[in-house]
């Protein structure tokens, strides 16, 4: 049984969505987290080394950080094909876009939010505009990052774009809007929202 360490309306919410897609048995353990306004505390029950969410426990096995959790869960619950397994020709693209999410896309958004320049040749990521161009080019190949195949990588990217749809952090793009709506329009997203509200 998977335990998801979760805080409402946070980066752990999309793992309820993924667990619903996977039809996995899971329980939600609500934890407190530190907030930007200085409120909130680290929950001692949370196994993430910095008290962040998400983290999961699978019968004693702890996994933290979104891309690692996505990969762990899609390998662990392969039934619904939410992540190409080792040996699948799509595996390389899957790993690449999962890593790109954590290593490039999120840092790009945070740099922009903080009004920090991204030094070419030094930072491991790029400016949001450059990252979004790469994602839009990728989506020219099909409705999802892996072409015709929906995967957990789309859950990370699509929910992020849906959240930033009205934000000045992201330029308006019909390709991205349609993609984000395609992802959050899935029945598992709605089931996750209902489950999250409890
Ligand atoms: N790199 C982490 C980021 C997780 C993260 O920052 N989560 C926020 C909630 S959206 C959090 O737990 N913040 C509390 C804190 O920073 O102490 C991941 O991708 O899983």
Domain that includes residue 110, residue range: 91-186
Q: Are residues 72 and 9 in the same domain?
A: yes
**Residue in the structure block whose two tokens are 């896309």:** 105
Q: Are 176 and 111 found together in one domain?
A: yes
Number of domains in the chain: 2
- Please, which contacts does 47-53 make with residues 24 or more away whose CB atoms are closer than 8 Å? 47/5, 48/5, 52/11, 53/5, 53/6, 53/7, 53/10, 53/11, 53/12
CATH of the domain at 136: 1.20.1050.10
Task: Determine whether the shortest distance from the Cβ of 66 to ligand 1 is under 6 A.
Answer: yes
Same domain, 117 and 156: yes
Over residues 42-90, the pLDDT tens digits come to: 999 999 999 999 999 999 999 999 999 999 999 999 999 999 999 999 9
Q: How far apart, in whole angstroms, are the C-alpha atoms of residue 88 and residue 153?
A: 16
Compute the C-alpha angle 79/15/132, nearest 5°.
100
Residue with the two structure tokens 């509200």: 197
CATH number at residue 55: 3.40.30.10
In tens digits, the chain (198 residues) has pLDDT values of 999 999 999 999 999 999 999 999 999 999 999 999 999 999 999 999 999 999 999 999 999 999 999 999 999 999 999 999 999 999 999 999 999 999 999 999 999 999 999 999 999 999 999 999 999 999 999 999 999 999 999 999 999 999 999 999 999 999 999 999 999 999 999 999 999 998
Give 22-44 as a DSSP string: HT--EEEEE-----TTS-----T
Confirm or reject: Cβ of 53 under 6 Å from ligand 1: yes
Same domain, 37 and 22: yes
Give the distance (Å) from ligand 1 centre to CA of residue 53.
Answer: 5
Residues 58 and 24 in one domain: yes
């Amino acid at each position: 049984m998977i335990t998801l360490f979760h805080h409402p309306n946070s980066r752990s919410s999309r793992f309820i969505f993924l667990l619903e897609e996977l039809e996995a048995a899971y329980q939600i353990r609500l934890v407190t987290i530190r907030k930007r306004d200085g409120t909130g505390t680290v929950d001692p029950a949370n196994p993430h080394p910095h008290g962040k969410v998400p983290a999961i426990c699978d019968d004693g096995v702890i996994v933290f950080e979104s891309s690692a959790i996505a990969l762990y869960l899609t390998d662990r619950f392969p039934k619904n094909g939410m992540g190409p397994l080792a040996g699948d020709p799509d595996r390389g693209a899957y790993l690449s876009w999962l890593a790109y999410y954590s290593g490039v896309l999120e840092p790009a958004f945070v740099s922009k939010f903080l009004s920090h320049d991204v030094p070419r040749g030094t930072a491991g990521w790029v400016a949001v505009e450059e990252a979004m161009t790469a994602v839009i080019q990728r989506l020219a190949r099909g409705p999802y990052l892996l072409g015709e195949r929906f995967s957990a990588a789309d859950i990370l990217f699509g929910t992020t774009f849906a959240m930033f749809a009205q934000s000045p952090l992201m330029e308006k793009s019909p390709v991205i809007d349609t993609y984000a709506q395609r992802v959050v329009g899935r029945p598992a997203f709605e089931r996750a929202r209902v489950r999250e509200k409890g």
